[in-house]
Amino acid sequence: MGQPGKRLLTLGLAALWLATDCMAFAPVAEAQFFNWFNSEPAPRPRVRPKPPGDDLPPIVPKESTAPPPPDDRPYDSKLMRLAEILGAVHYLRELCGAQEGQ
């Protein structure tokens, strides 16, 4: 081997050594098909937060929402009958066209 061949061989080996040295400090490539070596845990399911407003106290207390006691007034039926009669008289007066009392 001559001088140019020896120089070319030395230059090639130096380039090979430099390329190997540069690859030694490169991070490891993580291809998709090598994922079983470092499998990640499955993601935890998301927890839905409670809708707002459920923790507030009710506006109307539960005691006041009970139905009122029955109305047992003895004069209620008579008062209702009087209201019906007065309504009928007022309607008939307008129908007949009477101008009395006005």
pLDDT of the residue at 13? 93
pLDDT tens digits, 22-52: 877 777 666 655 556 666 777 888 888 877 6
What single DSSP character describes residue 8?
H
Rounded to whole angstroms, the Cα distance separating 90 from 87 reads 5
Write down the pLDDT at residue 36.
62
Query: Residue ranges per domain, the chain?
Result: 1-40
Supply the pTM of this predicted model: 0.29
Task: Calculate the alpha carbon distances from 2 to 5, 7, 70, 92, 93 in Å.
Answer: 5, 9, 124, 139, 140
